[in-house]
Amino acid sequence: MLFKRLIIFITITGFPILLISQEETLSRLDEIIEEIASASDSELDYTTLFDALEKYWYDPIDLNQATETQLKELLFLNEFQIYSIIKYRKKYGNFMSIYELQFVDGMDLLTLKRLLPFVTVADVRRTETLDLKKALTYGKNVTFLRYQQTLQQKSGYIPVPDSILAINPDKSRYLGSPYKLYFRHSFQFKNRLLFGITAEKDDGEQFFRGAQKYGFDFYSAHFQLNDVWKFKKIIVGDYLAQFGQGLTLWSGLSFGKTSSISGVMKKARGINKYSSVNETSFFRGQASTINFGKFNFTEFISYKNIDGTITSISDTTDSDIIEEQYLTSFLETGYHRTPSEIKKRKTISEFVTGFNANYTLNKLRLGATGVYYNYSIPIGSRTEPYRFFDFNGSSNSNFGVDYIYTQNKLILFGETSLSQNLGWASLNGALIDFVPEFKMSLVHRYYRPDYQNMYTNPFSEGNKAYNESGLFIGTEIFPRKYWKIESFFDSWNYPWLRYSVNSPSTGNDMLVQISYFPKRNLDMYFRYRNKTKQKNNTEITTGIRPLTDYNTTRYRYHLNYVVNKNLTLKSRIELSNYKINERDDWGFMIYQDFQFKPDRLPLTFTARVAVFEIDSYDAAIYAYEPDVLYGFSVPAYYGQGLRNVLVVKYTASRNIDFWFRISNTYFNDRDYISSGLDKINGRNKTDVKLQLRYKF
């Protein structure tokens, strides 16, 4: 009790400092997402991540009842911090204040600032049964409507004569209108009852006519119940399934290598509702998780139609002509704008079923996952040498086992998985928290070329679970107060061929990031990253092409400065360099962000001015941009030009918000933008978004 009284005294006296940091650091949820996106070199759909954070923003996790599963949904927490929170509660009893977290082993100040808005300490511990009438009365409804369009006319929307359209319909024009529509309605009662519907029409797709007679091109719906009797989760509709380290089964969003060393260990969330607009990486059907003390069992069934290219092959026998159909490729873009894209829409049925079982025994958690896939049309074999080991046929299955072992400041984790053809893949790693000032991570993976899996997303160079062997070493050092140094080195080899690589190859990736946060309203970092890979030497025109190295180097300086409660500034300078043979491409991008919130007006203004000059797409620079809520943009900057972005949010009332976004890119090194049906004649591309949110 003496320890508890001391904690209460310290937390009360330190309360103002932490409170200021909380309000200042997490004034917007997308700051966390921006941090994750800044390490990604592609434009991803962050809706799933945002959903997980927003859920606990409005209904914080009670630290005295928090489960490991709930804490895993806060993706900025690493496994050791989650373990330490639960261990602290068992050792010292219930938390008396959220600020008691600063005494939890492994909790640094930056993580604490992010965590505070998502947790609480309830006055009374209670277990309440789900009252459906009460849930429907007091639940939170949120509706989104969004309109988006490029103002300049693309070639695909220019009227063409029917005669030309008949000759080449796929390259003449888009069949639909140039605007994009998004609708979403969600309902949530605490974390017990959740349901919703999401719909989207891409630009160029028809709306209530033609191939889309029912309006939107894509619809998604879900219904989820949590903590009902022995069932932890019951889901009907669209959902995600994520288990182990992503080798056997992982659908939906997954992050690769980031500056955070703890990111190498995936935090599997099991089954969860799906409310995004990616039209391929989800399951549709039914799933549930049931709990028996330390044992959890999850079953799932999915059936949905997916897009693909089908080829027919005729085989003549003595008396008959037999025609067989094969799937030659999947269409994962979700676009249905031209006759050929529409022809590929929902051409094949996919059936998936499986299970996951895990058992926790003190410091060890063991899991097993099995999954079976079946397709209505068999996937055909490919003739390219690099695709020799690709899966072909109508059905496949995978089985894997995973583990997490926690001992004081050491966490061991891994997964090994087997495919139906007896190909296998294995990943094993460790997180070591030597002292608060020094942490380390190690990951070794070995993925055989013949391992076959349709839903896999493990830690790897390309988020693929085949044809790769490598070792990752990462460190995190706090050399002195206000300083943090993160670094990693990853080396790998590909034992089999790859696209544009006609022999086994190697590669390596290294990063060093130095962060400095001297004041609560000021932080900055410098990042250096260098990646070397191999591919065919295209300068050799005859005979066998030997491999040649190509190298990408990036330098970044980033500054965040909260001037006052009304004005926040973000500045970045980034250089990129791409080298291959005698070619040496350079690029730079400088941007300045402003966020201004007037005292007496319900408005928020966010703006960006960016200047860039980049020699080629190979040296492109990616940067997360300001956007409307649930609108995520991480474009590639390349060429030479100027980009401006303005986002205005207007809060009409406590229930109604409006967003307006306009972005413009001006290129001074070309007279047209893009190609094909997306071609714009001119040097400007301007996009607008209008969005409404209604809460009730």
Read off the pLDDT of each residue in 51-80 and give the average, rounded to a whole number: 80
Question: pLDDT grade, residue 670 (50/70/90)?
Answer: very high
Task: Please indicate, yes or no, if residue 196 is contained in any of the structural domains.
Answer: no
Residue 135, pLDDT > 90, answer no
| Least confident among 146-150, 199-203, 476-480 | 476-480
Task: Please indicate, yes or no, if residue 76 is contained in any of the structural domains.
Answer: yes
pLDDT at position 12 is: 43
pLDDT at position 675 is: 92
Rounded to whole angstroms, how far apart are CA atoms 290 and 308? 35
Separation in Å, CA 477 to CA 38, 54, 194, 512, 671: 21, 31, 41, 11, 49
Task: Please indicate, yes or no, if residue 194 is contained in any of the structural domains.
Answer: no
CATH number for the domain spanning 108: value is 1.10.150
CA-CA-CA-CA torsion for 148, 150, 156, 158, nearest 10 degrees?
Answer: 110
Task: Please indicate, yes or no, if residue 86 is contained in any of the structural domains.
Answer: yes
Q: What three-state secondary structure class fits 121?
A: coil
Task: Please indicate, yes or no, if residue 294 is contained in any of the structural domains.
Answer: no
pLDDT at position 19 is: 42
Domain that holds residue 24: 2-37+60-126
Read off the pLDDT of each residue in 186-205 and give the average, rounded to a whole number: 93
**% the chain with pLDDT above 90:** 61
One-letter amino acid for residue 329 of the chain? S
Quick one: tokens of 18? 């932490």
Rounded to whole angstroms, how far apart are CA atoms 374 and 352? 7
pLDDT at position 13 is: 43
Residue 17, pLDDT > 50, answer no
Quick one: tokens of 141? 């409804």
Residue 22, pLDDT > 60, answer no
| Least confident among 144-148, 240-244, 434-438, 609-613 | 434-438
pLDDT at position 256 is: 67
pTM of the predicted protein model: 0.90
Read off the pLDDT of each residue in 566-572 and give the average, rounded to a whole number: 95
Residue 313, pLDDT > 80, answer no
pLDDT at position 446 is: 97
Summarised one tens digit per residue, pLDDT across range 671-682 is: 999 999 999 999
Helices 47-58 and 30-37: angle between axes, nearest 10 degrees = 150
Task: Please indicate, yes or no, if residue 650 is contained in any of the structural domains.
Answer: no
Residue 575, pLDDT > 50, answer yes
Greater confidence, 579 or 43? 579
Residue spans of beta strands (DSSP E) within 380-494: 393-407, 410-419, 424-435, 438-447, 468-477, 483-494
pLDDT at position 21 is: 38
One-letter amino acid for residue 591 of the chain? Y
Rounded to whole angstroms, how far apart are CA atoms 572 and 526? 10
Mean residue pLDDT across the chain:
88
Residue 441, pLDDT > 80, answer yes
Greater confidence, 26 or 307? 307
Residue 41, pLDDT > 50, answer no
Q: Is there a contact between 540 and 531 (Cβ–Cβ < 8 Å)?
A: no
How many folded domains does the chain comprise? 1
Residue 327, pLDDT > 80, answer yes
Residue 577, pLDDT > 70, answer yes
Residue 26, pLDDT > 50, answer no
Across 496-533, b (16+ Cβ under 10 Å) vs e yields: bbbeebbeebebbbebbbbbebeeebebebebebbbbb
Question: pLDDT grade, residue 16 (50/70/90)?
Answer: very low
pLDDT at position 317 is: 58
pLDDT at position 231 is: 94
Q: Is there a contact between 542 and 548 (Cβ–Cβ < 8 Å)?
A: no
Instruction: Give residues with Cβ within 8 angstroms of 28, minimum separation 6.
Output: none
Beta-bridge mates of residue 508: 491, 532
Residue 8, pLDDT > 60, answer no
Where does 270-411 have alpha helices with state H? 339-343
pLDDT at position 665 is: 97
Residue 124, pLDDT > 80, answer no
pLDDT at position 35 is: 56
pLDDT at position 669 is: 92
pLDDT at position 79 is: 74
Summarised one tens digit per residue, pLDDT across range 342-391 is: 999 999 999 999 999 999 988 899 999 999 999 999 999 888 999 999 99
Rounded to whole angstroms, how far apart are CA atoms 259 and 264? 10
Greater confidence, 515 or 463? 515
Question: pLDDT grade, residue 315 (50/70/90)?
Answer: low
Q: What three-state secondary structure class fits 12?
A: helix
Task: Please indicate, yes or no, if residue 121 is contained in any of the structural domains.
Answer: yes
Residue 82, pLDDT > 60, answer yes
CB atoms within 10 A of CB 10: 15
**% the chain with pLDDT above 70:** 90
Summarised one tens digit per residue, pLDDT across range 152-183 is: 999 999 988 877 777 888 888 999 999 999 99
User: 232: exposed, middle or buried (C-beta count within 10 Å: 0-12, 13-18, 19+)?
Assistant: buried
Most confident of 50-59, 66-75, 155-164, 221-230: 221-230
Residue 115, pLDDT > 70, answer yes
The conformation of residue 498, written as its DSSP 8-state character, comes to: B
| Least confident among 56-65, 193-202, 244-253, 479-488 | 56-65
Rounded to whole angstroms, how far apart are CA atoms 245 and 265? 7
Rounded to whole angstroms, how far apart are CA atoms 573 and 423? 45
Q: Is there a contact between 519 and 537 (Cβ–Cβ < 8 Å)?
A: no
Question: pLDDT grade, residue 128 (50/70/90)?
Answer: low
Question: pLDDT grade, residue 302 (50/70/90)?
Answer: very high
| Least confident among 89-103, 320-334, 450-464 | 320-334
Question: pLDDT grade, residue 207 (50/70/90)?
Answer: very high
Read off the pLDDT of each residue in 490-500 and give the average, rounded to a whole number: 95
Instruction: Give residues with Cβ within 8 angstroms of 50, minimum separation 6.
Output: 29, 30, 33, 630
Q: How far apart are the first and last CA of the chain?
A: 44
Read off the pLDDT of each residue in 604-623 and give the average, rounded to a whole number: 95
Read off the pLDDT of each residue in 398-427 and give the average, rounded to a whole number: 95
pLDDT at position 471 is: 97
Provide the greatest CA pair distance for the chain: 93
Quick one: tokens of 585? 């491409």
Task: Please indicate, yes or no, if residue 203 is contained in any of the structural domains.
Answer: no
Question: pLDDT grade, residue 576 (50/70/90)?
Answer: very high
